Each structure stands twice: as structure tokens, then as C-alpha cells.
Chains A and B, each alone.
Chain A
Amino acid sequence: MASMCEAENPSPNIHITEEWSEAAHSISNDSFTSPPPIAFICGPKNSGKTTFSRYLLNTLLHSAYRYRKAAYLDTDVGQPEFTTPGFLSLTVVDKLTPDLTIPCLKTPERCFFFGDVSAKRDPAAYLKYTFSLYDYYRKEYCMISESAVKTELPVIVNTAGWVKGIGYDILVDMLKYIAPTHVVKISISTESKNLPAGAFWSNGDYPAAVNLIEIHSACEVNRSVPNQKNARLLRDLRIMAYFQQCFPSDLNITTIKELAHALASHPPYEVMLSNIKIRHLHCQVPSTEIFYSLNATIVGLAISSEEAENLPSCVGLGIVRAIDTFKGSLYVITPVPPSMLEKVDLLLQGFIQIPACLLQVRGCISPYMSANVLSAS
């Protein structure tokens, strides 16, 4: 076991404790006999949920176990694993993540644009998206079909670090709906910030099927709660990495300045305003003001479904780089391939802010970057 651990942990900066590796292997092991595990990872901010999820993913995909693929349901809208911030997604992974320190972008199997970096603005919608993704997983990868054409996949559910107040209520609702086979609860040394002990989500009647694994945060060396600025920086980097995909890698864009310049020069997609609908996910926008709201913002590119109850699935992000009301067209920059883009008929506006550094290119400063702004203090 120990040797295998080392083999699958080439990231020198991340230390996987004995406790963690035992937990990961027990989840993977169990699955030899029973149906694939549904692992639910929860714990407070900075306890290492994402790192554990990555590690567990690698363990599941390791040759010692039977899974060639695994599903990953990411509900952490602030710092998602495979997508840009603001998304809830279900991704099917078939490759080992080579380095646990690097989050990488993957195209999810199915995703929804929540449009904010925390569930707090609309917990109901957040839960709706989560449940819908889980239903999709059940339907596609967990049904025991007679023909057995579809392989059953294990799933890892990663969650946000909001474990108090409404955040706690959301977690409980998710646990009740998903009914996981394994719940991994990570706790940190500051006891007051942790989730309650035991199966906190059940009302006394302890479901026998669930495996509750309580582990400790692996490394808490001086890692205080990340300040707002740091989290924001990480999000901006994610968004920039996403839009860098607009350009072929041989263009060799290595600095933010170069990326910002390249984006300002990039020929955008043009779409007729009559061909798309625009919706703000969290705000009332007076209908006469819609373009004032939309110009130079980041939008989710979604496909509206015919059935009203179905949620619009999202294929990626775009920057509305300009609006020409006289021509009646919208100009959007996006790395989404044209074949997929063609289906997009709905722009979802949220509160995912465009990184300010993309708006200031020398000689090309966006009008939304303004000098002479009275400072708040």
C-alpha cells in the first residue's frame, strides 16, 4: 500500500497523510463487492476538500482498482476543480491528474452556470442545479441496466466550505438527497469551525448503508483562512486561463498583458440580438437598460431547453466585448468551439466579474476602467 501511495503522489509539495490514504483506499476497496461508491466530501474552508477529492480520484483511477473512469460532481462554485468559478458541473475523468497542485480545465459532461461565487445569493437555485446534476449521474452512470452497456461509475461530490448557517442547511439538504455511500468529513484544528460530529444530517435514524469517515486536515501549517483578495486573485487567474484557450498554444502568450492585448485584438463571434435571449440570474434589469447591463461583462453561454422545467445547460463562458445596437449585433469572445456554440441561444448574466487586468491594455483601456474615482475611505 505504501509504495503505491508514493507512486501516485508525484507532487512533492503535497503531503498525503496515512489517514488520508487509508480513507481513500477504503473507499476504493469497498467497491469490489458493492456498487460503485458515491463519496461525499465536506468540511470547512481550507480543510483540503479539493486536494482530498483529487487524491481520491487518482486512487479510484489507479490500476489497482477496476475503474477506468470516474465521475466528479463539483458544487464548489467559488473554486471549482475543472471549470471557471460560477459553475456547478459533472465531469467524467479518465486520466490521472499528474500533479495534485494544479487545477486544470476540463470540459464537463454537463454543467450549469450559477453565476456567482457563493451559493448564498440563491440557495434554492443552487440546490436545484446540484440535484439535477446528480439525477443526470444516476440516469447515465448509476442505473443497473439489463443490457449492461453502460458501465457504472463511482462519483466524488466535492462541496463548498460554507458549513455554518444557510451553508449548513444546504449541505444537509444535499446529503439527504444524494444519500452517499461514503461521507468524508474533514475537520480542522479550530473546533468551532468544524461540522458537528457524527452523521449530523440524519435525524437520529442512522442509515446503515453510509460509511462516515472522519479525517483531519492534512496540512495546517500557518494556513489561515484565505483573505478575500487572494481568493479573488485565484478566480481571476482561472478566468484568464479559460480565455487563454481562445488562442492556439503556439502563440505563446505568457503574460497577462499579452493576453489582455490578444483579447482586445481577437476577432469576436458576432451574433444577432434577435437570435438570442438574455437573462440575468440574480438581478432585475429594466428591459430598456439591458445593454447597459450586458456590455463588457462575462456571460454563461447556455442552451435553453424546450421544456420549461428543464434547466438551461451551459457550454462555457463568453465576454460580451461589444454591442452594436444599430446593427443589432452582439460581439462575444469565447473559446467554445463553433459546433457547440451554434446551439447557444441564451446568455446568462451573473456576478462573475471580468478580471480588471483584462480591461486595461495600454492604448486600449476599456471605458469601464476609470481614473479619478473617489476612493471609498
Chain B
Amino acid sequence: MGAATAPVLRLHKEEEEERRGVDGSSSSSNGYKLVPWLSWHDWEFVRDSLFSSSPLIALNRISTWRSRGCVPDLVDVTSSIVEIQLMDPHFNFTGDHTNHVIYSDQMLAMLYCMSILRLVNCVVEKTRKRSKFSIAQAADAIGIPRSLIDVRHEGSHRNLPALPVVRDSSVKALHWLKCYYWDPQKRLIPYQGNGSANIRKEIKSKFHELSYCLKAKQNPQPGSLLVKGKRGIHRKGLCGHTKFLPLMTGKFHSSKLRGSKKQITNTLKTLIQLYASFSSEVVSVLLELLLKALNSSDLVELPKNSQVAQNTHSLLDDWKLVITKFSNKEPELFLTLLKAIVDMIDAEEAMKYDLGRQHLTTSEHRVETGQIDNLSSLFAWLVGQIKGPKPFGCKDPAAEIKVSAAGIDISNAVLMELLRQCLRVSAFGNNQLVNSALHLAQLMGDSSLMDKLSKLFSVSLSNSDASEDIYSSVSSMSLLTQHEESICEAAKKLEAVKHRRQRSKVVKTRDDVGNSTRWVVAKCWSPCPIGMLPGDLGSSGRLPILEFVNDGNKVKISDNRGASPDTQLLDNSNVEKTNGKREASSDIQLLNNAISKKMRETVEGSESDGEDVLLPEGVKGRLMIGGVWKIVGEEELLAIESAVRILV
């Protein structure tokens, strides 16, 4: 290291930051608190294990929480007491840890006494207002058993209390902790234990509420008139809506909710909060509502005329405002909604494919196609909204970050992802999706991409025409020629794929030679919360799996050490501190090797040159076989090729 390299790093003035006006505490005004657990599920898992007959796994997890530095005192103390009880032969816990049992009464009494001392101090110091009250008074106020206070007093100022006394107190302490923290906290977890039905109900009612309020606000007439008028219109034939509207009127009219701005804001806020915790439910409910709106117009569609089309439009328009409002606040909704539609179409297509093989009747077939058509038109409609007068979140300066350059990138990347999804499904020759895809490309302002797309579609559309011809089975002769043509084409494509694979391999080996970098900037990254991995779409991200990947090697390692994860904690506590650390890190090292080995295998399985922007991530190096993308190796390709040759 040379002398004084020290470049003065750029830094905005501290004063500027003060002007930002932060609340530096770990909790903030909006009720969010920094916690060490990844989810309430994680917390509940620990709670359940802690009060069971095998609490070791919970103790391990809590010791991990401690290492994050923000574990609540009550959790910490509970864990300590349980851990001591585990070492006390009196409690007769069974398990692998029996060799860690402490037989000295004196030692056990000291441990118990210390844990109770800490419990009383932690809790009482937090709740006691100054020194106005005595500790006993403060303890009384929060219902701590008096015996715990006495143990604390005896232990700190007099003699160490006897083991039977402190042992008994530890049981009382645990019971109190359960009543004071673990149970009330469990009750505070939202929508806990009711399954998803209640949440869906709640979301649905909120959506209706919002839709109603927005409509009411749009209409300058007083509430009662508006409702009457609306109802009249709906009676004319839009059955879907009449189902809920009278109900809504009764409910809202009486409670004087007349689309006031405040009401809209409140409902929207609730919905966004719901979205934060139950995004998939919100999206699926919204999708359900939209489809319902669409379907109800379908029912009256039998006499085909333009007025019905108009109605369809207005019905969806009712929801348009809801979606716009929502996605202004939560830009991601729009994208997740689109993705949900694509997924649904995908699922329907897959089903169609399966059923198609079982020769399904024409009427069934029609229903299936109808659903897909509906979904596709919904998709097209939503994509159309992106361009609309009030563009969705990504372009809304209020919703998007002001980091302008990054902002555009993000939305474009997301559009690209959508486009990919869209193309994946439109492989089945769905015209509406094709148009939507083109529209997306246009939005991205990428002309070369548009060219590519139109070329692609001209090919795929002709393909789908061909398949339709086959269905109608014109003549066996033309059918044969068509088959031959498509087989030839397949052979060509295979050749191309093979070529590309070979080329990519060359590139890969070249890379390996000069590639010794440990730290690389992640190639594709979409914004997501810190602590999460990027999701397919939008910025909600997905929760990481933080368990060790359990493969063969891993098991071997723990065998070598003679320690199952269950005994880890107690094991460590026996080892000298520095020793334990070193051992742990070498353990990780070994484990990591195993993981990376596994990694390399999969990488080899699916390498590609990454040239195909339009291919979805998971499709590289794969072939569509029987409607499913499958990884194909060199041998498989050769096998397919020879099979094709035989046919030709």
C-alpha cells in the first residue's frame, strides 16, 4: 500500500442531510419496525417450537436473530430461560443434547437467577416511568408474578436463591412471557389463521367500495340520484353488475359515503396496505372482478351489435378508474395484473392442449376458447391503457423515482419482461396478444425490436393458419406436404440451435480463461426490497430461501462433525469461542463448495449466448417439446435431428 492515496470521496454536506429530516430511530411514524425475522411465518414457527417439547430449533433461530442486533428483549429472555431448562435434568427433555445437561445445582441456580434478573430489568426498566414507582409497583402494573421480583432482589442484594425456587420461577416467567408477549403478538398478526377466504372477501369489498366512490365522485349529481340513475342503466341488461350494486347502495348510501375525497383516499390506502401483504390475492380478486365485468357483457352479446361493444367498454371503464388510481399509488399492480393474465392464458392453453388430446366436444372447446379470448382482450385493453391519457405509474413522476435515467430503464426493462411473457403465450397464435406485444414494443420505442416482432408474427401467424387448415383437414395430400414442410423447417431450426450451442461453448471456454473475477455486477437486476430477490415482474420481489441447500455433500459434512443441526447450539457453547468461529467458517466453506459444484452443473445444462433478447430467461438452451420448454443436451439434439432426417 502506497502513501496517502486517500481520494476525498464525494459527499453531500451533512447539513443537507439534516434537512432531509429523518427519523433515525428503528421504528418510524408509519408503524413499521425493524425486526430480525423474515416474515411472521418465521416468527410463528419459532413461537410454536419454543413452547413445544423440542425447542432446540427455535433456540438456534433466536440466536441467529440476536446476531442481527434487533431482537426484542422479551424474545431474547424467553429463549434464555428455555435454554436453561433444557440443561436442567429436572425437566427431563429428551434428545441429542442430553450430554449438555448440567448437574450442579449451584450452576443451574445461577443461570436461572440471572435470566430472571434480566427479565425483570428488561421489562420493568422499559415500562417504569423514571423512579417514581418502586420496581415492585411497576411489576405489579404489568402483572409480573411477585416471586420473580423477589428472586431478582434476593439474587442481586442477598444470597443466591435456592434452585427449587428459581426453577419454579422460571416456569412462572415463561408462562408470564407467553401471556405478555407471545400470545398478544400472535393475535396482532393480521388475518392470521383464517385462511385466505377472509382476506379475499375484504379485498373484494374494498374494491367495490373504491369503484363506487370513484363513480360517485365522477358524477356531479347528489348521491341518491346517482344511484337511481345508475341502477336504471344497469337494469337494462348488464346483469353482472346488478348483483352487487343494490347491495352497495344500501350499504354506502346509509352511511353517507358519497365518494368524498377522504373516503377514496382511505379505501385506496387500505387496498395498498392489503397489497403490501397479500399481493397475489389482491391481483387475483381484481382479475376476477374484471373478468366478471367482461363476462356479464358477453352474456348479452348474442345479438351482435355495436351497442353491446359500447357496453363492454363502459363496464370495463368503471374499473379503469379504479385501476388507474390504484396503480398511481402502487405502480406494480398494473404489471402483476398483466402477468397474472398471461399466466392464466398460459394455464388455459396448457389445459386446452391436454384436453385436445382427449378429443373434447366442440361446445367445451368453445367455452375454453371463450375464456382465453376474454383474457386476451382484457390484456389488450390493459396494455392499451398504458398509452392512455393518464399513464400508469412508471411514467407518473410522483410514483416513479426522480432518478430519471434509472427510471426509464426500469420501465423499459419491465415492458420487455411483459413482452416476453406475452410472446411466450402468443406462440399459440393469439392475435390479440400479438397486437399487444407490438404495442408494448412501440411503447419501448425500439424500432428494431418492432421489426423483429412483425417478422416473427408473420411467420407464426402463417403457422397458425396452417394448423387451422389441418383441423379442417382439407385433403390428405396437402396435409402431407405441410407436414413435410414443417419438418424441414424444424430440421433447419435444430441445425441453428445446434450451431448456436457450439458457438456459445467456444465463447464460454474463452471466458473461463480470462475470467478470475470474484465480484461481478449482477447482469440483470430489477428493483426489489432489500432482503429480497427480484421477482419476475414489478418491484415486489420474492422472499429468499435462506435454508442451507440440503444435498448429499451437506449431510456428509454434518456426519463428520458428529453434530446434527439440532445440537449445533449447545455444541458451540462448549467449544472455545475463537475455535468455534473458525470451525463454523470452514464448515461454510465446505458447504459452499458443494453448492457451487451443483451450480456449475446447472450452468452447463443451460448455457447460451444470451443473444436472444426475446427469449424468456428460462427458455435459453431449451426446446419446446409437447408444449413445454425442455432442456436439451447435445445428444438429445442429435437424436432429434436424426429422427427428423428419417421422416424427411
Contacts and interface: CB of A to CB of B under 8 A. Distances in A.
Interface of A: 69, 91-95, 101-110, 140, 150, 229, 232-237, 240-241, 244-245, 247, 249, 251, 253-256, 258, 261-280, 282-293, 295-297, 319, 321-328, 331-332, 335, 338, 341-342, 344-345, 349, 351, 353-361, 363-374, 376-377
B588 to A, nearest CB: 6
A358 B26 CA distance: 11
Contacts of A354: 530
A62 B70 CA distance: 45
Contacts of B530: 263-264, 296, 319, 321-322, 354, 358-359, 366
B531 interface: yes
Interface string B348-363: 0000000000000000
Contacts of A235: 24
Given A102-B14, A328-B595, A295 B73 contact: no
A105 to B, nearest CB: 5
B331 A363 contact: yes
Contacts of A101: 14
A377 B185 CA distance: 13
Given A286-B568, A295-B546, A372-B189, A255 B533 contact: no
B367 interface: no
B6 A108 contact: yes
B529 A361 contact: yes
A327 B519 contact: no
Contacts of B541: 364
B588 A325 contact: no
Nearest to B18: A237
A137 to B, nearest CB: 12
B193 to A, nearest CB: 14
A229 B26 CA distance: 10
Given A237-B17, A353-B34, A367 B189 contact: no
A150 B4 CA distance: 12
Given A325-B547, A357-B28, A365-B32, A338 B532 contact: no
B607 interface: no
A102 B26 contact: no
Contact of A268 (B331, B518, B522): B522
B572 A286 contact: yes
17 contacts: A92-B3, A102-B15, A229-B25, A254-B16, A256-B20, A258-B402, A269-B522, A275-B592, A279-B584, A284-B569, A287-B584, A322-B534, A353-B26, A356-B33, A357-B22, A365-B32, A368-B36
Given A265-B406, A284-B572, A289-B61, A370 B539 contact: no
B5 A107 contact: yes
Interface string B506-521: 0000000000011111
Nearest to B554: A288
B39 interface: yes
A183 B169 CA distance: 52
B544 A324 contact: yes
B250 interface: no
Given A286-B572, A292-B64, A245 B529 contact: no
B549 A369 contact: no
Interface of B: 1, 3-18, 20, 22-28, 30-40, 60-61, 63-70, 72-74, 126-127, 181, 184-185, 188-190, 276, 330-332, 401-403, 405-406, 410, 517-522, 525-534, 539-541, 543-549, 565, 568-569, 572-573, 577, 580-581, 584-585, 587-589, 591-593, 595-596, 598-599
Nearest to B56: A286
Contacts of B528: 264, 322, 364
Contact of B67 (A102, A240, A293, A327): A293
A93 B6 contact: yes
Contacts of A285: 63-64, 67, 584
A319 B530 CA distance: 9
Given A288-B568, A377-B127, 15 more contacts: A105-B9, A258-B401, A262-B406, A264-B528, A264-B529, A269-B521, A275-B518, A322-B528, A328-B596, A328-B598, A353-B70, A359-B529, A359-B531, A364-B540, A367-B543
Nearest to B40: A370
Contacts of B9: 104-107, 245, 335
Contacts of B20: 254-256
A187 to B, nearest CB: 27
Given A244-B11, A269-B521, A370-B32, A363 B539 contact: yes
Given A237-B18, A253-B403, A325-B545, A370 B33 contact: yes
Given A105-B11, A237-B22, A271-B518, A353 B403 contact: no
Given A275-B518, A351-B69, A364-B528, A94 B4 contact: yes
A342 B69 contact: no
A235 B10 CA distance: 18
B240 to A, nearest CB: 31
Contacts of A284: 63, 67, 569, 572-573, 577, 580-581, 584
A278 B37 CA distance: 20
A369 B11 contact: no
- Which 5 residue pairs are nearest across A and B when measured between Cβ atoms? A233-B24, A296-B531, A274-B596, A265-B527, A92-B4
Given A272-B599, A274-B596, A285-B584, A369 B73 contact: no
Nearest to B550: A288
A321 B531 contact: yes
A136 B291 CA distance: 71
B272 to A, nearest CB: 8
Contacts of B598: 328
A368 B35 contact: yes
